[in-house]
Amino acid sequence: MATVTLQNVRKSFGKTDVIHGIDLDIADGEFIVIVGPSGCGKSTLLRMVAGLETVTSGEVKIGGRLVNDVEPMDRDIAMVFQNYALYPHMSVFDNMAYGLKIAKTPRSEIEERVASAAELLQLEPYLHRKPRELSGGQRQRVAMGRAIVRKPAVFLFDEPLSNLDAKLRVQMRLEIKALQRKLGVTALYVTHDQVEAMTLADRMVVMNSGVADQIGKPLEVYADPQTAFVGGFIGSPPTNFLNAGLIPGLATGNTIGIRPEHLTLRADGRLQTTVAYTEALGAETLIHCRLPDGNQITARQDATQRIPAEGESIGITWNDGDAMLFDAGGRRTGQV
């Protein structure tokens, strides 16, 4: 168990800068999720912590020790890969034991550690199978087992659930969280899925084009996004962005963002809209409306409320405190 510290970490491939200086302090036992769209540099950042990519400048410290030039195996980390990267010709047991064998761990201890990891992950019946004889979820567990047996200080996860179907993804998400709590190991987890980020993270890092736009607790990030990008990326359906010029008293060029759940439909709203179409999801209903300027805005309401007909003309309103103001560069400048 250890802290992880990134100080002004940068990465360039040739002349292209992909990470523009990231600072991050991870506490012992903390679960950090790095979330962002593909190509934002999140995997590169993780791979720099793993030692699979060199650090162009800045410092990576694990447990207070500078590890910029330390080989992956000596960093006291374990990694779960997106495609699991199981050794196809080895049994489940051998897959988990491989790292320990290289470290010349005594045979009895290897067996003990693999057995306890297998028990934890309910893999005991499969120890002698080959990866190709396992289901996707089981392979995922083996990949985690391989990480667990090393008893690392830090777990690194690179989109570990993206190859699973939706149902399994939810289940494995819960298992990963429970496991991390149980073992108390520091975890760094990369995903493009904001739901995973919200549910797993103690704190999350929202990355955008090689920059950490915001670092914070999931609900804080959700409630108080620091950039328009974060506001748009976190939350589903995404935050509505309106040209501030539509609202009396606000300067054009700025943008206001309002979350769908903060919009209320009322005959006498602040803005007059037309209902384009509605999606009744059971517990809630999404109402997509067209603004006079042609843009679309989405409101979310409880299923108990009346669902307006498509084509109906209706007003829309919100509380001032729920409208977030962003400047032309997408920076948050405050509430309305």
Question: Using CB under 8 A, which of 2, 77, 142, 188 touches other proteins?
Answer: 77
Task: Give the binding range for other proteins (CB under 8 A) out of 87-95, 204-212, 305-313, 323-331.
Answer: 87-95
CB of 103 to other proteins, least distance (A): 6
Q: How many CA atoms lie less than 13 Å away from 36 in the CB half-sphere?
A: 25
Query: Are 77 and 156 contacting, i.e. CB atoms less than 8 angstroms apart?
Result: yes
Tell me whether residue 150 or residue 203 sits nearer to other proteins (CB atom): 150
Task: Give the binding range for other proteins (CB under 8 A) out of 75-83, 176-184, 220-228, 319-327.
Answer: 75-83
The first and second tokens of residue 124, run together, are 């005991």
CB of 41 to other proteins, least distance (A): 15
CB of 174 to other proteins, least distance (A): 25
- Would you count residue 99 as binding other proteins (CB under 8 A)? yes
Query: Are 228 and 240 contacting, i.e. CB atoms less than 8 angstroms apart?
Result: no
Q: Where are the alpha helices (DSSP H) in the chain?
A: 42-50, 92-102, 107-120, 136-149, 166-183, 194-200, 218-223, 228-233
Contacts of other proteins in 114-153 (CB under 8 A): 146, 150
Question: Using CB under 8 A, which of 8, 59, 89, 112 touches other proteins?
Answer: 89
Q: What contacts 187, CB < 8 A, 6 or more positions away? A: 30, 31, 32, 154, 155, 156, 157, 180
- Would you count residue 12 as binding other proteins (CB under 8 A)? no
The gap from C-alpha 61 to its chain's centroid, in whole angstroms, comes to 22
| Nearest in space to 295 (alpha carbons), one of 258, 326, 261 | 258
CB of 156 to other proteins, least distance (A): 9
Size of the site for other proteins (CB under 8 A): 25
CB of 85 to other proteins, least distance (A): 4
Q: What span, in angstroms and rounded, lies between the C-alpha atoms of 18 and 41?
A: 6
Give strand ranges (E) for the chain: 4-13, 16-26, 31-35, 57-62, 65-66, 77-80, 154-158, 186-191, 203-208, 211-216, 240-243, 255-258, 264-266, 271-280, 284-290, 296-302, 313-317, 324-326, 332-335
Question: Using CB under 8 A, which of 4, 6, 26, 50 touches other proteins?
Answer: 50
Q: What span, in angstroms and rounded, lies between the C-alpha atoms of 128 and 235?
A: 43
Task: Give the binding range for other proteins (CB under 8 A) out of 14-22, 47-55, 213-221, 237-245.
Answer: 47-55
Question: Using CB under 8 A, which of 15, 16, 64, 88 touches other proteins?
Answer: 88
- Would you count residue 103 as binding other proteins (CB under 8 A)? yes
- Would you count residue 13 as binding other proteins (CB under 8 A)? no
Tell me whether residue 96 or residue 207 sits nearer to other proteins (CB atom): 96
Query: Are 23 and 67 contacting, i.e. CB atoms less than 8 angstroms apart?
Result: no
Task: Give the binding range for other proteins (CB under 8 A) out of 77-85, 106-114, 232-240, 242-250.
Answer: 77-85
CB of 162 to other proteins, least distance (A): 13
CB of 266 to other proteins, least distance (A): 54
DSSP output for 120-137 = HTT-GGGTTS-GGGS-HH
- Would you count residue 107 as binding other proteins (CB under 8 A)? no
Q: What span, in angstroms and rounded, lies between the C-alpha atoms of 121 and 13?
A: 38
Question: Using CB under 8 A, which of 79, 161, 197, 230 touches other proteins?
Answer: 79
Summarize as ranges the residues that interact with other proteins (CB under 8 A): 50-52, 71-74, 77-79, 81-89, 98-99, 102-103, 146, 150
